[in-house]
Structure 1
Amino acid sequence: MTPRILLVEDDPVTRAFLTAAAEALPARVDAVDCLAAARDRIRTQTYDLWLVDANLPDGQGAMLLEEPQRQGTAVLAHTAACEQDTLARLREAGFADVLVKPLTATALQAAIRSATANDEASSFDVAMPANDQAGALPLWDDAKALTALNGQRAHVDALRGLFLEELPATRDTIAAAAHDRDLDAMRASLHRLRASCGFVGAMRLDATVAVLHGAPDSPEALADFLAVAQDTLSSR
Protein backbone atom coordinates (compact mmCIF):
# COMPACT_ATOMS: atom_id res chain seq x y z
CA MET A 1 0.00 0.00 0.00
CA THR A 2 1.24 3.47 -0.85
CA PRO A 3 1.36 5.48 2.40
CA ARG A 4 -0.41 8.82 2.57
CA ILE A 5 1.59 11.48 4.37
CA LEU A 6 0.72 14.89 5.76
CA LEU A 7 3.74 17.21 5.56
CA VAL A 8 3.64 20.40 7.62
CA GLU A 9 6.50 22.78 6.74
CA ASP A 10 6.44 26.56 6.29
CA ASP A 11 9.71 27.01 4.38
CA PRO A 12 9.00 26.53 0.64
CA VAL A 13 12.44 25.14 -0.24
CA THR A 14 12.38 22.58 2.57
CA ARG A 15 8.75 21.72 1.77
CA ALA A 16 9.62 21.08 -1.89
CA PHE A 17 12.59 18.88 -0.95
CA LEU A 18 10.71 16.80 1.63
CA THR A 19 7.75 16.35 -0.72
CA ALA A 20 9.94 15.17 -3.61
CA ALA A 21 11.93 12.82 -1.39
CA ALA A 22 8.80 11.27 0.15
CA GLU A 23 6.97 10.91 -3.16
CA ALA A 24 9.96 8.98 -4.56
CA LEU A 25 9.28 6.10 -2.10
CA PRO A 26 6.54 6.19 -3.52
CA ALA A 27 4.09 7.96 -1.20
CA ARG A 28 1.18 10.35 -1.56
CA VAL A 29 2.01 13.65 0.10
CA ASP A 30 -0.29 16.50 1.10
CA ALA A 31 1.90 19.49 1.99
CA VAL A 32 0.73 22.47 4.04
CA ASP A 33 2.54 25.39 5.64
CA CYS A 34 0.91 25.94 9.05
CA LEU A 35 -1.01 24.33 11.91
CA ALA A 36 -4.36 25.74 10.78
CA ALA A 37 -4.02 24.20 7.31
CA ALA A 38 -2.89 20.90 8.86
CA ARG A 39 -5.96 20.81 11.10
CA ASP A 40 -8.20 21.41 8.08
CA ARG A 41 -6.60 18.45 6.32
CA ILE A 42 -6.81 15.97 9.18
CA ARG A 43 -10.49 16.72 9.74
CA THR A 44 -11.32 15.30 6.30
CA GLN A 45 -8.45 12.93 5.47
CA THR A 46 -6.82 9.98 7.24
CA TYR A 47 -3.02 9.72 6.99
CA ASP A 48 -0.52 6.98 7.67
CA LEU A 49 2.07 9.48 8.88
CA TRP A 50 2.40 13.13 9.80
CA LEU A 51 5.74 14.89 9.21
CA VAL A 52 5.56 18.06 11.28
CA ASP A 53 7.95 20.99 11.55
CA ALA A 54 8.70 21.65 15.20
CA ASN A 55 8.30 25.43 14.78
CA LEU A 56 5.55 26.90 12.64
CA PRO A 57 4.25 30.44 12.07
CA ASP A 58 1.09 29.80 14.09
CA GLY A 59 2.50 27.65 16.89
CA GLN A 60 4.58 24.66 17.91
CA GLY A 61 4.29 21.48 15.86
CA ALA A 62 3.75 19.47 19.05
CA MET A 63 0.32 21.07 19.34
CA LEU A 64 -0.89 18.69 16.61
CA LEU A 65 -0.16 15.73 18.88
CA GLU A 66 -3.20 16.75 20.92
CA GLU A 67 -5.62 16.58 17.97
CA PRO A 68 -8.30 13.90 18.45
CA GLN A 69 -8.03 12.93 14.77
CA ARG A 70 -4.54 11.59 15.41
CA GLN A 71 -5.93 8.27 16.73
CA GLY A 72 -2.57 6.53 16.91
CA THR A 73 -1.15 7.96 13.68
CA ALA A 74 2.65 7.99 13.69
CA VAL A 75 4.05 11.53 13.90
CA LEU A 76 7.64 12.54 13.14
CA ALA A 77 9.07 15.95 13.92
CA HIS A 78 11.61 17.69 11.72
CA THR A 79 13.74 20.60 12.86
CA ALA A 80 16.90 22.53 12.03
CA ALA A 81 17.82 22.55 15.73
CA CYS A 82 20.59 20.14 16.67
CA GLU A 83 20.86 20.66 20.44
CA GLN A 84 20.33 17.37 22.25
CA ASP A 85 18.06 18.88 24.91
CA THR A 86 15.77 20.28 22.20
CA LEU A 87 15.59 16.92 20.44
CA ALA A 88 14.91 15.16 23.75
CA ARG A 89 12.04 17.56 24.53
CA LEU A 90 10.43 16.83 21.17
CA ARG A 91 10.58 13.09 21.77
CA GLU A 92 9.20 13.55 25.28
CA ALA A 93 6.31 15.56 23.80
CA GLY A 94 5.23 12.43 21.92
CA PHE A 95 6.93 12.47 18.52
CA ALA A 96 8.02 9.00 17.42
CA ASP A 97 11.34 10.38 16.20
CA VAL A 98 13.00 13.67 15.30
CA LEU A 99 14.66 14.32 11.95
CA VAL A 100 17.34 17.00 11.95
CA LYS A 101 17.47 19.18 8.83
CA PRO A 102 19.18 19.18 6.46
CA LEU A 103 18.93 15.45 5.91
CA THR A 104 19.30 13.31 2.82
CA ALA A 105 16.40 11.87 0.88
CA THR A 106 17.64 8.42 1.87
CA ALA A 107 17.46 9.23 5.59
CA LEU A 108 13.97 10.69 5.23
CA GLN A 109 12.76 7.67 3.28
CA ALA A 110 14.21 5.28 5.87
CA ALA A 111 12.41 7.16 8.63
CA ILE A 112 9.13 7.03 6.72
CA ARG A 113 9.48 3.30 6.05
CA SER A 114 10.24 2.65 9.71
CA ALA A 115 7.33 4.74 10.98
CA THR A 116 4.74 3.39 8.54
CA ALA A 117 5.85 -0.23 8.98
CA ASN A 118 5.77 0.07 12.78
CA ASP A 119 9.40 -1.02 12.93
CA GLU A 120 11.51 -0.26 15.95
CA ALA A 121 12.23 3.44 15.97
CA SER A 122 15.69 4.54 14.92
CA SER A 123 17.39 7.84 15.43
CA PHE A 124 17.95 9.75 12.22
CA ASP A 125 19.68 12.75 13.78
CA VAL A 126 22.05 14.26 11.23
CA ALA A 127 25.05 16.31 12.25
CA MET A 128 24.84 19.94 11.22
CA PRO A 129 27.65 21.43 9.14
CA ALA A 130 30.67 22.62 11.06
CA ASN A 131 30.94 26.35 11.63
CA ASP A 132 34.06 26.90 9.54
CA GLN A 133 35.17 30.36 8.55
CA ALA A 134 32.81 31.43 5.78
CA GLY A 135 35.55 32.72 3.52
CA ALA A 136 37.14 29.27 3.32
CA LEU A 137 33.94 27.66 2.06
CA PRO A 138 32.56 27.60 -1.49
CA LEU A 139 29.35 29.48 -2.19
CA TRP A 140 27.80 26.27 -3.54
CA ASP A 141 28.66 22.65 -2.74
CA ASP A 142 27.22 20.64 -5.62
CA ALA A 143 28.28 17.31 -4.15
CA LYS A 144 26.42 17.99 -0.89
CA ALA A 145 23.27 19.10 -2.71
CA LEU A 146 23.36 16.11 -5.05
CA THR A 147 23.80 13.74 -2.11
CA ALA A 148 20.78 15.27 -0.38
CA LEU A 149 18.71 14.78 -3.53
CA ASN A 150 19.93 11.30 -4.51
CA GLY A 151 21.99 12.61 -7.43
CA GLN A 152 19.07 14.29 -9.21
CA ARG A 153 20.62 17.35 -10.85
CA ALA A 154 17.27 18.63 -12.10
CA HIS A 155 15.94 18.64 -8.54
CA VAL A 156 19.01 20.51 -7.31
CA ASP A 157 18.57 23.18 -9.99
CA ALA A 158 14.86 23.54 -9.27
CA LEU A 159 15.35 23.87 -5.51
CA ARG A 160 18.19 26.35 -5.95
CA GLY A 161 15.99 28.45 -8.18
CA LEU A 162 13.28 28.50 -5.53
CA PHE A 163 15.88 29.18 -2.82
CA LEU A 164 17.23 32.22 -4.71
CA GLU A 165 13.70 33.53 -5.28
CA GLU A 166 12.99 33.39 -1.54
CA LEU A 167 16.38 34.63 -0.32
CA PRO A 168 15.91 38.41 -0.85
CA ALA A 169 12.74 38.49 1.26
CA THR A 170 14.33 36.32 3.94
CA ARG A 171 17.45 38.51 4.01
CA ASP A 172 15.34 41.65 4.34
CA THR A 173 13.24 40.13 7.13
CA ILE A 174 16.40 39.28 9.08
CA ALA A 175 17.88 42.73 8.50
CA ALA A 176 14.65 44.41 9.66
CA ALA A 177 14.50 42.27 12.78
CA ALA A 178 18.12 43.17 13.52
CA HIS A 179 17.32 46.87 13.13
CA ASP A 180 14.40 46.49 15.55
CA ARG A 181 16.56 44.36 17.89
CA ASP A 182 13.95 41.61 17.71
CA LEU A 183 16.34 38.74 18.40
CA ASP A 184 13.63 36.10 18.62
CA ALA A 185 12.35 36.99 15.15
CA MET A 186 15.91 36.95 13.81
CA ARG A 187 16.60 33.51 15.22
CA ALA A 188 13.31 32.13 13.85
CA SER A 189 14.13 33.31 10.31
CA LEU A 190 17.75 32.17 10.56
CA HIS A 191 16.61 28.76 11.81
CA ARG A 192 14.45 28.23 8.71
CA LEU A 193 17.11 29.61 6.37
CA ARG A 194 19.77 27.25 7.67
CA ALA A 195 17.72 24.19 6.79
CA SER A 196 17.25 25.50 3.25
CA CYS A 197 20.96 26.23 2.89
CA GLY A 198 21.77 22.63 3.70
CA PHE A 199 19.36 21.20 1.14
CA VAL A 200 20.70 23.30 -1.75
CA GLY A 201 24.38 23.25 -0.72
CA ALA A 202 24.70 26.99 0.04
CA MET A 203 27.71 26.36 2.23
CA ARG A 204 29.17 29.83 2.75
CA LEU A 205 25.76 31.31 3.52
CA ASP A 206 25.04 28.43 5.90
CA ALA A 207 28.20 29.24 7.87
CA THR A 208 27.32 32.93 8.25
CA VAL A 209 23.74 32.04 9.22
CA ALA A 210 25.06 29.74 11.95
CA VAL A 211 27.34 32.46 13.33
CA LEU A 212 24.58 35.09 13.28
CA HIS A 213 22.12 32.70 14.93
CA GLY A 214 24.59 32.27 17.78
CA ALA A 215 25.30 36.00 18.06
CA PRO A 216 22.26 37.85 16.69
CA ASP A 217 23.31 41.13 18.33
CA SER A 218 26.71 41.17 16.59
CA PRO A 219 27.04 43.90 13.92
CA GLU A 220 30.00 42.04 12.41
CA ALA A 221 28.05 38.79 12.09
CA LEU A 222 25.13 40.65 10.51
CA ALA A 223 27.43 42.40 8.03
CA ASP A 224 29.04 39.09 7.07
CA PHE A 225 25.63 37.50 6.57
CA LEU A 226 24.38 40.34 4.36
CA ALA A 227 27.55 40.31 2.26
CA VAL A 228 27.47 36.56 1.69
CA ALA A 229 23.73 36.66 0.94
CA GLN A 230 24.45 39.19 -1.79
CA ASP A 231 27.33 37.09 -3.13
CA THR A 232 25.02 34.08 -3.22
CA LEU A 233 22.34 36.00 -5.09
CA SER A 234 24.92 37.33 -7.57
CA SER A 235 26.36 33.89 -8.28
CA ARG A 236 23.46 32.70 -10.46
Structure 2
Amino acid sequence: MDGPGMMTPRLLLVEDEPTSRLFLKAAAAALPAQVDTAERVSEAYGMARRGGYALWLIDANLPDGSGAELLARLRADGLTTPAIAHTATCEDEERERLLAQGFAGVAVKPLSAAAWQDAIRGALGGAAASGAPAVAADTTAAPTPIWDDDAATRALGGNPTHVGALRELFLAELPAAREQVLGAARAGDLDGLRSALHKLRASAGFVGAARLDQAVRALQGRPEDHGALQRFVETTDQTFAQAPSP
Protein backbone atom coordinates (compact mmCIF):
# COMPACT_ATOMS: atom_id res chain seq x y z
CA MET A 1 0.00 0.00 0.00
CA ASP A 2 1.50 3.37 -0.95
CA GLY A 3 1.37 6.40 1.31
CA PRO A 4 3.29 8.65 3.64
CA GLY A 5 4.21 6.15 6.33
CA MET A 6 6.30 7.64 9.12
CA MET A 7 6.93 11.02 10.76
CA THR A 8 10.19 11.35 8.84
CA PRO A 9 9.00 11.06 5.25
CA ARG A 10 10.46 8.45 2.97
CA LEU A 11 11.07 9.72 -0.55
CA LEU A 12 11.93 8.00 -3.82
CA LEU A 13 14.31 10.03 -5.99
CA VAL A 14 14.60 8.87 -9.60
CA GLU A 15 17.62 10.47 -11.31
CA ASP A 16 20.26 8.88 -13.55
CA GLU A 17 22.82 11.72 -13.73
CA PRO A 18 25.31 11.23 -10.83
CA THR A 19 25.98 14.89 -9.92
CA SER A 20 22.31 15.82 -9.97
CA ARG A 21 21.41 12.70 -8.00
CA LEU A 22 23.93 13.47 -5.26
CA PHE A 23 22.79 17.10 -4.98
CA LEU A 24 19.06 16.34 -4.96
CA LYS A 25 19.43 13.49 -2.49
CA ALA A 26 21.56 15.51 -0.05
CA ALA A 27 19.19 18.49 -0.19
CA ALA A 28 16.12 16.31 0.36
CA ALA A 29 17.74 14.34 3.19
CA ALA A 30 18.44 17.60 5.04
CA LEU A 31 14.68 18.26 5.45
CA PRO A 32 15.07 15.71 7.21
CA ALA A 33 13.85 12.80 5.11
CA GLN A 34 14.83 9.27 4.22
CA VAL A 35 15.72 9.22 0.54
CA ASP A 36 15.97 6.10 -1.64
CA THR A 37 17.34 6.48 -5.15
CA ALA A 38 16.79 4.79 -8.50
CA GLU A 39 18.46 5.48 -11.83
CA ARG A 40 16.07 3.87 -14.32
CA VAL A 41 12.34 3.49 -14.93
CA SER A 42 12.56 -0.28 -14.47
CA GLU A 43 14.28 0.03 -11.09
CA ALA A 44 12.03 2.84 -9.87
CA TYR A 45 8.86 1.01 -10.87
CA GLY A 46 9.68 -1.96 -8.65
CA MET A 47 10.68 0.24 -5.71
CA ALA A 48 7.56 2.40 -5.97
CA ARG A 49 5.32 -0.67 -6.27
CA ARG A 50 6.64 -1.96 -2.94
CA GLY A 51 5.21 1.21 -1.39
CA GLY A 52 5.97 3.15 1.76
CA TYR A 53 6.85 6.44 0.04
CA ALA A 54 5.35 9.79 0.90
CA LEU A 55 6.50 11.36 -2.36
CA TRP A 56 8.10 10.38 -5.66
CA LEU A 57 10.69 12.74 -7.18
CA ILE A 58 10.96 11.70 -10.81
CA ASP A 59 13.31 12.90 -13.54
CA ALA A 60 11.35 13.70 -16.69
CA ASN A 61 13.92 11.99 -18.94
CA LEU A 62 15.49 8.65 -18.04
CA PRO A 63 17.66 6.16 -19.97
CA ASP A 64 14.89 3.59 -20.42
CA GLY A 65 11.83 5.81 -20.67
CA SER A 66 10.21 9.01 -19.48
CA GLY A 67 9.10 10.08 -16.04
CA ALA A 68 5.58 10.53 -17.36
CA GLU A 69 5.50 6.93 -18.59
CA LEU A 70 6.67 5.72 -15.18
CA LEU A 71 3.99 7.77 -13.41
CA ALA A 72 1.30 6.52 -15.78
CA ARG A 73 2.23 2.89 -15.06
CA LEU A 74 2.10 3.49 -11.32
CA ARG A 75 -1.24 5.28 -11.52
CA ALA A 76 -2.63 2.41 -13.62
CA ASP A 77 -1.64 0.10 -10.75
CA GLY A 78 -3.79 2.16 -8.40
CA LEU A 79 -0.97 3.98 -6.58
CA THR A 80 -1.82 7.54 -5.57
CA THR A 81 1.46 8.79 -4.06
CA PRO A 82 2.06 12.40 -5.13
CA ALA A 83 4.93 13.05 -7.52
CA ILE A 84 7.13 15.97 -8.49
CA ALA A 85 8.84 16.02 -11.88
CA HIS A 86 12.32 17.52 -12.14
CA THR A 87 13.76 18.57 -15.47
CA ALA A 88 16.46 20.76 -17.01
CA THR A 89 13.94 21.99 -19.60
CA CYS A 90 12.53 25.35 -18.57
CA GLU A 91 10.05 25.95 -21.42
CA ASP A 92 6.45 26.60 -20.35
CA GLU A 93 5.20 23.92 -22.75
CA GLU A 94 7.23 21.24 -20.97
CA ARG A 95 5.96 22.31 -17.55
CA GLU A 96 2.35 22.33 -18.71
CA ARG A 97 2.75 18.93 -20.32
CA LEU A 98 4.17 17.38 -17.14
CA LEU A 99 1.45 18.89 -14.98
CA ALA A 100 -1.20 17.60 -17.39
CA GLN A 101 0.35 14.13 -17.12
CA GLY A 102 -0.32 14.05 -13.40
CA PHE A 103 2.67 15.56 -11.61
CA ALA A 104 1.82 17.73 -8.61
CA GLY A 105 4.65 20.12 -9.40
CA VAL A 106 7.63 20.69 -11.68
CA ALA A 107 11.12 21.70 -10.51
CA VAL A 108 13.56 23.07 -13.07
CA LYS A 109 17.19 22.05 -12.60
CA PRO A 110 19.54 23.50 -11.53
CA LEU A 111 17.90 24.96 -8.44
CA SER A 112 19.02 25.73 -4.91
CA ALA A 113 18.74 23.29 -2.05
CA ALA A 114 16.24 25.64 -0.39
CA ALA A 115 14.03 25.78 -3.50
CA TRP A 116 14.12 21.98 -3.83
CA GLN A 117 13.19 21.58 -0.16
CA ASP A 118 10.34 24.07 -0.53
CA ALA A 119 8.97 22.12 -3.51
CA ILE A 120 9.09 18.89 -1.50
CA ARG A 121 7.45 20.45 1.56
CA GLY A 122 4.70 21.89 -0.64
CA ALA A 123 3.96 18.51 -2.21
CA LEU A 124 4.06 16.71 1.14
CA GLY A 125 1.69 19.27 2.59
CA GLY A 126 -0.62 19.17 -0.40
CA ALA A 127 0.24 22.76 -1.30
CA ALA A 128 1.54 22.00 -4.79
CA ALA A 129 -1.05 22.94 -7.39
CA SER A 130 -1.40 22.19 -11.06
CA GLY A 131 -0.93 25.86 -11.82
CA ALA A 132 2.13 26.30 -9.64
CA PRO A 133 5.12 27.84 -11.43
CA ALA A 134 8.25 25.86 -12.11
CA VAL A 135 11.26 26.51 -9.90
CA ALA A 136 13.82 28.06 -12.19
CA ALA A 137 17.48 28.80 -11.73
CA ASP A 138 18.72 32.37 -11.54
CA THR A 139 20.19 33.67 -14.76
CA THR A 140 23.90 34.50 -14.72
CA ALA A 141 24.94 38.05 -15.52
CA ALA A 142 27.65 38.66 -18.12
CA PRO A 143 30.60 38.37 -18.21
CA THR A 144 30.15 34.77 -17.21
CA PRO A 145 32.87 33.27 -14.98
CA ILE A 146 34.14 29.77 -15.66
CA TRP A 147 33.36 28.78 -12.06
CA ASP A 148 30.81 30.70 -10.01
CA ASP A 149 31.73 29.81 -6.43
CA ASP A 150 29.12 32.07 -4.84
CA ALA A 151 26.26 30.58 -6.85
CA ALA A 152 27.37 27.03 -6.11
CA THR A 153 27.73 27.71 -2.39
CA ARG A 154 24.33 29.41 -2.21
CA ALA A 155 22.73 26.47 -4.01
CA LEU A 156 24.12 24.11 -1.38
CA GLY A 157 23.03 26.18 1.59
CA GLY A 158 26.45 27.72 2.22
CA ASN A 159 28.37 24.44 2.59
CA PRO A 160 31.68 24.65 0.64
CA THR A 161 32.57 21.04 1.52
CA HIS A 162 29.54 19.82 -0.39
CA VAL A 163 30.48 22.06 -3.32
CA GLY A 164 33.92 20.46 -3.49
CA ALA A 165 32.53 16.93 -3.38
CA LEU A 166 29.99 17.66 -6.11
CA ARG A 167 32.62 19.28 -8.33
CA GLU A 168 34.93 16.30 -8.05
CA LEU A 169 32.11 14.02 -9.19
CA PHE A 170 31.13 16.43 -11.96
CA LEU A 171 34.69 16.66 -13.34
CA ALA A 172 35.04 12.88 -13.24
CA GLU A 173 31.85 12.51 -15.31
CA LEU A 174 32.48 15.43 -17.68
CA PRO A 175 34.73 13.64 -20.24
CA ALA A 176 32.07 11.01 -20.90
CA ALA A 177 29.34 13.66 -21.07
CA ARG A 178 31.41 15.67 -23.55
CA GLU A 179 31.96 12.60 -25.74
CA GLN A 180 28.22 11.88 -25.74
CA VAL A 181 27.58 15.41 -27.01
CA LEU A 182 30.30 15.24 -29.66
CA GLY A 183 29.34 11.73 -30.78
CA ALA A 184 25.72 12.71 -31.25
CA ALA A 185 26.72 15.89 -33.09
CA ARG A 186 29.03 13.98 -35.48
CA ALA A 187 26.30 11.44 -36.19
CA GLY A 188 23.69 14.15 -36.79
CA ASP A 189 21.62 12.62 -33.98
CA LEU A 190 19.73 15.68 -32.76
CA ASP A 191 17.62 13.71 -30.28
CA GLY A 192 20.75 12.17 -28.76
CA LEU A 193 22.44 15.58 -28.69
CA ARG A 194 19.50 17.17 -26.89
CA SER A 195 19.40 14.32 -24.36
CA ALA A 196 23.12 14.64 -23.57
CA LEU A 197 22.91 18.42 -23.26
CA HIS A 198 19.80 18.16 -21.07
CA LYS A 199 21.66 16.11 -18.44
CA LEU A 200 24.84 18.19 -18.60
CA ARG A 201 22.95 21.46 -18.17
CA ALA A 202 21.54 20.43 -14.80
CA SER A 203 24.82 19.15 -13.36
CA ALA A 204 26.81 22.17 -14.59
CA GLY A 205 24.35 24.46 -12.87
CA PHE A 206 24.51 22.57 -9.58
CA VAL A 207 28.31 22.90 -9.31
CA GLY A 208 28.58 26.49 -10.54
CA ALA A 209 30.23 25.67 -13.89
CA ALA A 210 28.69 28.88 -15.17
CA ARG A 211 30.42 29.34 -18.51
CA LEU A 212 29.84 25.71 -19.46
CA ASP A 213 26.19 26.05 -18.47
CA GLN A 214 25.97 29.05 -20.82
CA ALA A 215 27.64 27.11 -23.67
CA VAL A 216 25.29 24.17 -23.17
CA ARG A 217 22.26 26.47 -23.30
CA ALA A 218 23.55 28.07 -26.51
CA LEU A 219 24.04 24.68 -28.16
CA GLN A 220 20.59 23.54 -27.02
CA GLY A 221 19.13 26.55 -28.80
CA ARG A 222 21.19 25.97 -31.99
CA PRO A 223 22.03 22.24 -32.09
CA GLU A 224 23.13 22.34 -35.76
CA ASP A 225 25.38 25.41 -35.33
CA HIS A 226 29.03 24.37 -35.68
CA GLY A 227 30.11 27.59 -33.99
CA ALA A 228 28.01 26.79 -30.91
CA LEU A 229 29.49 23.27 -30.87
CA GLN A 230 33.03 24.64 -31.09
CA ARG A 231 32.35 27.06 -28.22
CA PHE A 232 31.07 24.12 -26.19
CA VAL A 233 34.32 22.23 -26.82
CA GLU A 234 36.45 25.27 -25.94
CA THR A 235 34.45 25.87 -22.78
CA THR A 236 34.84 22.29 -21.56
CA ASP A 237 38.61 22.72 -22.05
CA GLN A 238 38.52 25.95 -20.00
CA THR A 239 36.43 24.26 -17.31
CA PHE A 240 39.03 21.51 -16.90
CA ALA A 241 41.97 23.93 -17.10
CA GLN A 242 40.64 26.12 -14.32
CA ALA A 243 39.15 23.40 -12.14
CA PRO A 244 39.22 24.53 -8.49
CA SER A 245 41.70 22.77 -6.24
CA PRO A 246 40.14 20.14 -3.91
How has the CA–CA distance of structure 1 residues 182 and 216 changed in structure 2, closer, same or farther, with 3 Å as cutoff?
same
Q: 1:119 aligns with which of 118, 124, 127?
A: 127
Equivalent-residue separation in structure 2 for 1:48 and 1:115 (angstroms) = 9
Q: Check if 1:102 corresponds to 2:138.
A: no
Gaps of 5+ in 2: 1-6
What residue is the counterpart of 1:173 in the other structure?
180
SS, match of residue 52 in structure 2: coil
How many residues align structurally?
A: 234
What residue is the counterpart of 1:29 in the other structure?
35
1:1-236 map, 5 Å: 1-66=7-72, 67=74, 68=76, 71-119=79-127, 121=129, 123=132, 125-128=134-137, 130=139, 136-236=143-243
SS, match of residue 136 in structure 2: coil
SS, match of residue 107 in structure 2: strand
Moved more, 39-48 or 149-158: 39-48
Gaps of 5+ in 1: none
CA contact (8 A) 1:139 1:232 kept: yes
Deviations 1:69-97 (A, max 9, x none): 56220100001111101100100000001
Equivalent-residue separation in structure 2 for 1:212 and 1:46 (angstroms) = 41
Query: One-letter code of the match for 1:76?
Result: I
Equivalent-residue separation in structure 2 for 1:127 and 1:109 (angstroms) = 14
Equivalent-residue separation in structure 2 for 1:180 and 1:47 (angstroms) = 41
Deviation at 1:131, TM superposition (A): 7.7
**Aligned-pair Cα RMSD in Å:** 1.6
Q: What is the TM-score when the length of structure 1 is the normalising length?
A: 0.94
Deviation at 1:111, TM superposition (A): 1.3
Kindly, what percent of the aligned residue pairs are identical? 49
CA contact (8 A) 1:42 1:69 kept: no
Q: What is the TM-score when the length of structure 2 is the normalising length?
A: 0.90
Deviation at 1:105, TM superposition (A): 0.8
Deviations 1:89-140 (A, max 9, x none): 100000001011111111111111121122353835233454877xx31110
How has the CA–CA distance of structure 1 residues 104 and 129 changed in structure 2, closer, same or farther, with 3 Å as cutoff?
closer
CA contact (8 A) 2:68 2:98 kept: yes
Structure 1 residue runs of 4 or more that deviate by more than 6 Å after TM superposition: none
How has the CA–CA distance of structure 1 residues 147 and 4 changed in structure 2, closer, same or farther, with 3 Å as cutoff?
same
